[in-house]
């Protein structure tokens, strides 16, 4: 009973307030924009009725604004609360003066014009992107026909011709990319698909023996290199390989393939073992080749002098590559070179990561693949030329930075880097010092570098 009494008391207490609220809601035309009017009582007052009520209540007459100021069916209206500026005030507030109404109308027109301008600009931008994409697709389609019908059937004869080199520079069509990479990298190691299966079987046996023991140290005859190439280390690196793609992580379609190629390689080259960064190179090859072909290209690629020097962490050879790079750095970007020198910022700080992963971790994947295209054409020289291209692209920004910010910037490059801008900068880099080319300068450095220079690079002192 007490509860029932309370309910009745509440009902008697609030009905008047409810009516007052309803009155305010119905008398405020602005509320209709927010859908606050109950659907069963859609008796909305017009601004004219509200004005008449206000005049009757206050005894003051307001001049109506010119006909042009009244809201009608506008062709364009922003989907926001922008239009509220044109609404008349609620009946309990003074009406707008003619001057204020005119000002609000002008402000509204300006906002609409600005919104229209943005919309048109965005439409033009979308149209331009679509046009460029269509043009690019047409170019790729026509290039693919040339590669399949003319170049690949006559590979040895045509690969070094000027026409093919120019077409190659523009980027390989995805459908022939893997095939061209395989042919360009070659197979000096004479690895067969059968040999890959043999080393994959060995890797699986090793993983099985590791999982059956509590510690890798318990496995008889396991060397330090073998431990570094263990399943756990490879597993860890695979999880960090192109994480945004979700295809190499556990459960992804290419997880097992990547795992197999890296495991087989550690058995094939125990002298090199597994080194962090290899997973990115293998992953890019997997995206463009069948499993066995990806392994063959991977093993041959890592057998190239530059890659072997880096993955074996041959400090002496790495320093020679860095010294050669600096010759061309000074030749092409002297101002930035001196800026880096003033901070004692050496190439190893940024080049190691770029070279270890062949730019596949540092650049967007499609752009990295285009770098790989020309790397397969020109060899190791193009890796260092690409590095100089990146420095040229961001030269103005880098000149304003100190040591820490330069190192951070080059470790994580901007994501909006485009192939057109980068390749334009790479093309501007001259890989010739006086009359000497990359290979000649590298040979000179090999002869001239002194034993004491080995410790010049801070990152390699340890």
pLDDT tens profile 376-430: 999 999 999 999 999 999 999 999 999 999 999 999 999 999 999 999 999 999 9
185: how many CB neighbours lie within 10 A of its CB?
A: 20
Least confident of 6-20, 128-142, 224-238, 271-285: 6-20
Per-residue pLDDT for 372 more than 70? yes
Compute the average pLDDT of residues 89-97.
80
Is 354 in contact with 344 (CB distance < 8 Å)?
no
User: What average pLDDT score do residues 7-28 get?
Assistant: 44
Nearest to 44, CA basis, from 54, 35, 52, 57: 35
Mean of pLDDT over the chain: 81
Q: How confident is the model at residue 31 (pLDDT cuts 50, 70, 90)?
A: very low
pLDDT at site 138: 84
The pLDDT value given to residue 87? 74
pLDDT bracket for residue 8 (50, 70, 90): very low
Nearest-angstrom CA–CA distance, 230 and 232: 5
For residue 417, what are its two tokens?
Answer: 């880097």
Q: Per-residue DSSP letters for 103-170?
A: HHHHHHHHHHHHHHHHHHHHHHHHHHHHHHHHHHHHHHHHHHHHIIIIIGGGHHHHTTSHHHHHHHHT
CA angle 275, 281, 282 (to 5 degrees): 90
Q: Compute how many other C-beta atoms are within 10 angstroms of the C-beta atom of residue 225.
A: 14
Count of Cβ atoms closer than 10 Å to residue 309 Cβ: 19
- Which position has the higher pLDDT, 355 or 124? 355
The predicted pLDDT at position 235 comes to: 85
What is this structure's pTM?
Answer: 0.70
Q: What is the DSSP letter of 94?
A: P
Position 453 scores a pLDDT of 52
What is the Rg, in whole angstroms, of the alpha carbon atoms belonging to the chain?
35
Using an 8 Å Cβ cutoff, are 358 and 376 in contact?
no
In this prediction, residue 212 has a pLDDT band, given cuts at 50, 70 and 90, of low
Q: Up-side HSE of residue 90: CA atoms within 13 Å toward CB?
A: 10
200-207 contacts, C-beta under 8 A, 24 or more apart: 200/260, 200/263, 200/264, 200/267, 202/264, 202/267, 203/260, 203/263, 203/264, 203/266, 203/267, 204/263, 206/231, 206/263, 206/267, 207/231, 207/263
Distance CA 322, CA 198 (A): 38
**Mean pLDDT across 64-81:** 48
* Residue-level pLDDT at 150: 95
Q: What's residue 450's pLDDT?
A: 57
Range with the poorest average pLDDT among 132-141, 216-225, 307-316, 345-354: 216-225
Residue 74: pLDDT above 50? no
- Please name the residue that has the structure tokens 């309370």: 6
Q: Which of 331, 378, 333 is nearest to 358 (CA)?
A: 378
Backbone angles phi, psi at 199, to 5 degrees: -70, -30
Q: Residue count of the chain, please give it.
A: 462
Q: Give the integer Cα–Cα distance in Å for 276 and 229.
A: 10
Q: For 48-52, 107-111, 235-239, 244-248, which range has the lowest pLDDT when averaged over its residues?
A: 48-52
What's the pLDDT at 51?
Answer: 58
């Amino acid at each position: 009973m007490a509860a029932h009494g309370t309910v009745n008391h509440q009902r008697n207490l609030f009905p008047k307030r409810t009516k007052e609220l309803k009155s305010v809601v119905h008398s405020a035309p602005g509320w209709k924009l927010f859908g606050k009017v109950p659907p069963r009582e859609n008796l909305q007052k017009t601004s004219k009725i509200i004005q008449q009520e206000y005049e009757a209540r206050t005894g003051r007459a307001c001049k109506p604004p010119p006909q042009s100021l009244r809201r009608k069916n506008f062709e364009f209206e922003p989907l926001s609360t922008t239009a509220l500026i044109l609404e008349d005030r609620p009946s309990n507030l003074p009406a707008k003066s003619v001057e204020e109404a005119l000002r609000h109308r002008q402000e509204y027109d300006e906002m609409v014009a600005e919104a229209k301008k943005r919309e048109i600009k965005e439409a033009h931008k979308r149209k331009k992107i679509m046009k460029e994409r269509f043009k690019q697709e047409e170019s790729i389609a026509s290039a693919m026909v040339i590669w399949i019908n003319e170049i690949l059937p006559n590979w040895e004869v045509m690969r070094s011709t000027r026409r093919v080199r120019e077409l190659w520079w523009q980027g390989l069509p995805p459908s022939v990319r893997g095939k061209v990479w395989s042919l360009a990298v070659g197979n000096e190691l004479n690895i067969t698909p059968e040999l890959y299966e043999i080393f994959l079987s060995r890797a699986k046996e090793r993983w099985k023996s590791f999982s059956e023991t509590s510690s890798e140290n318990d496995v008889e005859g396991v060397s330090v290199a073998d431990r570094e190439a263990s399943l756990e280390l490879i597993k860890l690196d695979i999880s960090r390989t192109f994480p945004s793609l979700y295809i190499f992580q556990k459960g992804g379609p290419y997880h097992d393939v990547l795992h197999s190629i890296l495991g087989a390689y550690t058995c094939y080259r125990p002298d090199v073992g597994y080194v962090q960064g290899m997973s990115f190179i293998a992953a890019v090859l997997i995206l463009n080749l069948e499993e066995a072909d990806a392994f063959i290209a991977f093993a041959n690629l890592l057998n190239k002098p530059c890659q072997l020097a880096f993955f074996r962490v041959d400090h002496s050879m790495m320093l020679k590559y860095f010294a050669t790079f600096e010759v061309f750095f000074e030749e092409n970007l002297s101002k930035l070179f001196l800026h880096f020198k003033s901070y004692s910022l050496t190439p190893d700080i940024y080049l190691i990561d770029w070279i270890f992963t062949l730019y596949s971790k540092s650049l967007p994947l499609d752009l990295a693949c285009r770098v790989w295209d020309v790397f397969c054409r020109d060899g190791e020289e193009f890796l260092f030329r690409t590095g100089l291209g990146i420095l040229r692209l961001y030269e103005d920004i880098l000149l304003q930075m100190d040591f820490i910010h330069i190192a951070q910037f080059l470790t994580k490059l901007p994501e909006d880097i485009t192939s057109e801008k980068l390749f334009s900068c790479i093309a501007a880099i001259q890989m010739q010092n006086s009359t000497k080319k990359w290979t000649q300068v590298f040979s000179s450095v090999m002869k001239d570098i002194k034993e004491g220079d080995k410790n010049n690079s801070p990152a390699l002192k340890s």
